[in-house]
A and B are shown apart, each in its own frame.
Chain A
Amino acid sequence: MSDAEQNMVAIVDDDVAVRDSLRFLLEVVGCTVEAFASAAEFLQANVQDFACLILDHHMPNMTGLQLAERLRADGSDIPILLVTGSPSPAIVARAAELGIERILEKPPGEEDLIDFINANRS
């Protein structure tokens, strides 16, 4: 497996423009990216394939936090970056409980995104 493949980044966001633009940017930066339109879609993938996860919180059916909860319950310690339009104290607290590395407010800054990815490369 190449270095890029080993460091695959997963993106979960229900908005197609956010998803496509983030993948576009991260690929320009040199990452290998796979994007998912929902938490349910991501759960069908092999979580261990990914070095880290950039996760939108505000999604229908299953929120970002609910997905994180599920991943942790399933025994995954995949590094997670949560992106939310409104980081309430409740969200921040819950994210800390779930060992979510960082929360960024939408729109997330490029530097913060890249710092997170670099910190979680193998």
Chain B
Amino acid sequence: MQRLTELGQVVSTLVHEVNQPLTAISNYVNACRRLVATGDVERTRVALERIADQTDRTREIVQRIRDFVMKRDVRMRTENLSHVIDETVALARSSVRDTGLTLGVQMDSNDVHVEIDRVQVQQVLFNLLRNGIEAMQDQPRRELAVTTSRAEEGMVKISVADTGPGLSDKVRLRLFEPFVTTKATGMGIGLSVCRAIVEAHRGRLWADDNPGGGTVFHFTLRHAGA
């Protein structure tokens, strides 16, 4: 079940990506039909070169589909949680051009080890970070805070808090449904997939109000050896 929803999300992103060169090819082909009818060899030549480029681009996307399908066995390993978080936060930071946005990390301990599929958990965290960043887009105060803390026996909790407008009741109800998004771009993997990943790790993913205004997403992971 989890692998199916994850696959669906990735497929939908890749379909969007492949539509771009496909659209370009379609436009150039239609242009060529007209150019050939009027004998405009030079412009036909230009269009054909561009079609070739876009075909290469499509080939690269297809290769990525192949890579994804082949490489995505779940690999559970013991990982240092602070390394996992730091890496993901660095990636999210590099995607932000807003100089007024602060992204802070506060870890309960730097020596926590968790039993996880690193790539999957990083996908979840990255998604939550991107959601927080986008939620705060039009806010005067834009602070994203990542913290770790103890959870119930054998678990550690990771929290991502934003100072965005918060969740309306209507959105909160549908938050983890598949294919529901308020976002324009498909950078994330979707909250329903995030939840599926966390639950496959025997943790929980949920959202709360941020007391100072905004939203906090929490998810729990198992300590290694727990």
Q: With contacts A25-B30, A58-B184, A60-B185 known, is A15 near B16, CB below 8 A?
A: no
B31 within 8 A of A: yes
Task: Please report the C-alpha to C-alpha distance between residue A60 and residue B188 in the assembled complex, in whole angstroms.
Answer: 13
Determine how close the nearest CB of chain B comes to the CB of A114; give it in whole angstroms: 10
Secondary structure type dominating chain B contacts: helix
Interface centre among B22, B47, B184, B185 (most CB of A within 10 A): B184
Select A108's contact among B23, B28, B34, B184, beta carbons within 8 Å: B23
Does A1 make an interface contact (CB < 8 A)? no
The reply on B62 being an interface residue by CB < 8 A is: no
Q: Are B34 and A21 in contact (CB under 8 A)?
A: no
Complex contact A63–B184 (CB within 8 A): yes
Are A24 and B47 touching (Cβ within 8 A)? yes
B19 contacts the other chain (CB 8 A): yes
User: B35 to A107, Cβ gap below 8 A?
Assistant: no
A49 contacts the other chain (Cβ, under 8 Å)? Answer: no
A115 within 8 A of B: no
Q: Are B23 and A106 in contact (CB under 8 A)?
A: yes
Interface residues of A in 55-114 (CB under 8 A from B): 57-60, 62-63, 66, 85-86, 106-108, 110
Partner of A20, one of B16, B24, B26: B24
Residue contact B27 to A25, C-beta cutoff 8 Å: yes
Does B16 lie within 8 Å of A58, measured CB to CB? yes
Q: Is B204 an interface residue (CB 8 A)?
A: no
- Whether B21 and A17, one on each chain, are in contact in the complex, defined by CB atoms closer than 8 angstroms, is yes
The answer to whether B57 has its CB under 8 Å from any CB of chain A is yes
Q: Is A28 at the interface (CB under 8 A from chain B)?
A: yes
Residues of B near A15 (CB, < 8 A) are: 20, 23-24
Alpha-carbon separation in the docked complex, A107 to B20 (Å): 8
A57 CB → nearest B CB, Å: 8
Residue of B nearest to A61 (CB): B184
- Minimum Cβ distance to chain B for residue A74 (Å): 18
Question: Given A15-B20, A85-B16, do A21 and B27 touch, yes or no (CB 8 Å)?
Answer: yes
Name the residue of chain B whose CB is nearest to the CB of A110. Answer: B30
- The answer to whether B15 has its CB under 8 Å from any CB of chain A is yes
Interface status of A43 (Cβ within 8 A of chain B): no
Residues of B near any A CB (own CB < 8 A): 12, 15-16, 19-28, 30-31, 34-35, 43, 46-47, 50, 53-54, 57, 184-186
Could you show 17 A-B contacts with beta carbons less than 8 Å apart? A17-B53, A18-B23, A18-B24, A20-B24, A20-B50, A21-B24, A21-B26, A21-B28, A21-B50, A21-B54, A24-B46, A28-B31, A29-B34, A57-B184, A58-B186, A59-B185, A106-B19
7 closest Cβ pairs, A-B complex: A21-B27, A107-B23, A17-B24, A21-B24, A63-B184, A110-B30, A25-B31
